[in-house]
Structure 1
Amino acid sequence: MAVSRSKKICLEDTPYYHCVSRCVRRAFLCGKDSATGTSYEHRRAWVEKRLLFLAGVFSIDVCAYAVMSNHLHVVLHVDEDSVKNWSTLEVLDRWHRLHRGTFFTQQYVRGEALPEHTLKLVENLADTYRARLISISWFMKELNEPIARKANSEDNCTGHFWEGRFKSQALLDEAALISCMAYVDLNPIRSDICQTPEDSDYTSVKQRVACAQKCYQPKALYPFVGNPRQDIPSGLPFNLVDYLELLDMTGRIVKYGKDGVINVELLPILKRLNISSENWLSIAIKFEERTGSVVGQEQSVSHYCQCHHKRRKASPKSSQLFA
């Protein structure tokens, strides 16, 4: 039986989630259909543009993404603290970038005088919109529905475009986060679409590399802020250079199918997180196959199960990483 989304996504456990949406039809989301010869490559730009637009509207940051031929990967961070500080006007401004809102919310944004009972109604609506703007379910809905309508229109057909609900995984700790991000960023290499991470079109790593060459980080993506320390700013708790080196080395092994061993002396991230090179390679290549709905190191998963009164299940799809 399907588990409700509200039980899968709990910000008290973690603000980080890996979401996957898959195309339900044989027709491609993107790429080229070998059966008909029709190219849907231009649809990658639709998805990337919409995804990064939503990151500027929602209080949800994009950590990593990859637009594949028939599915989409995205790693998200929910910024629950920022949305609490948004004024009613800012909430409505953001929501109106997605929808028209109501006659009264439009009046409020224009600065028109409203009676007290109407102001109360507007504030209640703003509270509803505020909750939606930190909802991963609403984020994925606002991402997937416009793409589905546009693709159906282009294909001159109707019906479902996406395979039901999106799949989500809770990333409980830093080890789960970085392994999932690497898995997403390396998806095009693993699928033999490109040779190197920086050549992988419509991925977060390509954007990060392009910006890193100009000595800045992309504004649309959640930034790397270095290893954990006191008064660390909001961002990914890793060093960007370390992460790119890790991806490059892992990508080479994946691309050429070698049973290599990564030299952990060159990869401070793996050393800090106490991840062996053998375990890293296994998880970075087959993250979805080897993990369940919650992912983390042994102590993280145990704490999660204890808090939610769940029993640990012994199965091939273990949620435990790098024990």
Structure 2
Amino acid sequence: MKLLSNVFAIEIAAYAIMSNHYHIVVKVNKQTALDWSDDDVIKRWYQLYNGDSLVDRYINGEVFDDATMTFFNEIVSKWRLRLYDISWYMKNLNEFIAKEANKEDNCTGKYWEGRYKSQALLDESALLSCMAYVDLNPIRANMANTLQESDFTSIQERLLHFKAQIKDNKKVQLNPSQNIPQKDDPAHISQPAELKPLGGEHIAGGIPFSLLDYFELVDWSGRHVHPKKTGYISHSIPRVLVTLNIEETIWLEQVQSFRRQYANFAGSKHALCRQAAKNDVKWYKGAG
């Protein structure tokens, strides 16, 4: 998954790997792919595929005439388009997993029930609730009691990376009752290199929420979601919900049943209606 993210112009915002399925929240950087040079595209494509004999000749320094150059440009353009296409990303990911699983089971045939399901996140609220929904999968499934015990999730990776960073930094403390970082994000604290960073206004191109605010929000949500969870439940609403003007009950409903609330698009009623008008349809699930 992370290898493909480094090859494609697709960033990982959140993920959860479960026993028989997985969830992933991604950002498609179309403009980044369009800005790549031909050599960049070729180098990335060759990390996954054998390529093309004509491109091999270009790599070996052969000078093409105009007609041959036209064919070469068509090949590279096709690869460029595929390198920011979610369908090609998922094709590579699911194909690899299926082959490895069939190899382990010493069998052949279809592995996945379907191709994949996707939802477009239309606004910040949808992005945040979908990320939390994904990160809380092990909590909802009663497979983990804390975020740090939620194996194979992006929230666990972010927390462990953060805790490793603060060992030598006394400015940031962990709240012992919640086991989440406190105080504002220090600029010099790094985040996992293979995940899209959370940074509010402080990191260009980052997810528009503070890292520590996100930790607080997911921890708070998990304490309400988990039916058997014990411990302290804060009576104060997390700052992110106040900023986005999201009601507490609506948020908790979203992070528990995000997939059932929406179809192809997810967002506020206004965002869904706007997208429906743009696509010349009357409505989308979630705005009706």
> What TM-score results when the alignment is normalised by the length of structure 2?
0.85
The corresponding residue for 1:91 is: 41
The corresponding residue for 1:77 is: 27
The corresponding residue for 1:220 is: 194
Aligned equivalents of 2:251, 2:91: Cα separation in 1: 32
Q: Which amino acid counterpart does residue 164 of structure 1 have in structure 2?
A: G
Shift of 1:82: 0.7
Residues 1-323 of structure 1 mapped to structure 2, 5 A cutoff: 51-213=1-163, 214=165, 215-227=189-201, 233-257=204-228, 263-265=235-237, 267-312=238-283, 318-320=285-287
Residue pair 2:223, 2:233 contacting (<8 A) in 1 also: no
Task: Summarize the Cα distance change of 1:177–1:320 in structure 2 as closer, same or farther, 3 Å threshold.
Answer: farther
SS in structure 1 at match of 2:119: strand
SS in structure 2 at match of 1:244: helix
Shift of 1:162: 0.6
SS in structure 1 at match of 2:93: helix
Residue pair 1:179, 1:287 contacting (<8 A) in 2 also: yes
Residue pair 1:93, 1:109 contacting (<8 A) in 2 also: no
Shift of 1:112: 4.0
| Percent of aligned pairs sharing the same letter | 40
Shift of 1:264: 4.8
Q: Which amino acid counterpart does residue 138 of structure 1 have in structure 2?
A: W
1:39-59 CA-to-partner distances (Å, cap 9, x unmatched) read xxxxxxxxxxxx000010000
1:107-126 CA-to-partner distances (Å, cap 9, x unmatched) read 32344444443332222111
Aligned equivalents of 1:116, 1:93: Cα separation in 2: 23
1:2-34 CA-to-partner distances (Å, cap 9, x unmatched) read xxxxxxxxxxxxxxxxxxxxxxxxxxxxxxxxx
Task: Summarize the Cα distance change of 1:182–1:110 in structure 2 as closer, same or farther, 3 Å threshold.
Answer: farther
1:264-320 CA-to-partner distances (Å, cap 9, x unmatched) read 54x22111111111111111111112222211111101101111111126xxxx424
Shift of 1:131: 0.4
What root-mean-square deviation, in Å, do the aligned CA atoms of Structure 1 and Structure 2 show?
A: 2.1
Aligned length: 263
Shift of 1:255: 2.1
Task: Summarize the Cα distance change of 1:113–1:142 in structure 2 as closer, same or farther, 3 Å threshold.
Answer: same
SS in structure 2 at match of 1:199: coil
Task: Summarize the Cα distance change of 1:257–1:283 in structure 2 as closer, same or farther, 3 Å threshold.
Answer: farther
SS in structure 1 at match of 2:139: helix
1:41-98 CA-to-partner distances (Å, cap 9, x unmatched) read xxxxxxxxxx000010000111111111111101111001111110000001000001
Q: Which runs of 5+ in 2 are unaligned?
A: 166-188
Aligned equivalents of 2:14, 2:22: Cα separation in 1: 11
Shift of 1:263: 4.0
Q: Which runs of 5+ in 1 are unaligned?
A: 1-50
SS in structure 2 at match of 1:175: helix
The corresponding residue for 1:8 is: none
Q: Which amino acid counterpart does residue 319 of structure 1 have in structure 2?
A: G
Residue pair 1:67, 1:73 contacting (<8 A) in 2 also: yes
Residue pair 1:262, 1:277 contacting (<8 A) in 2 also: no
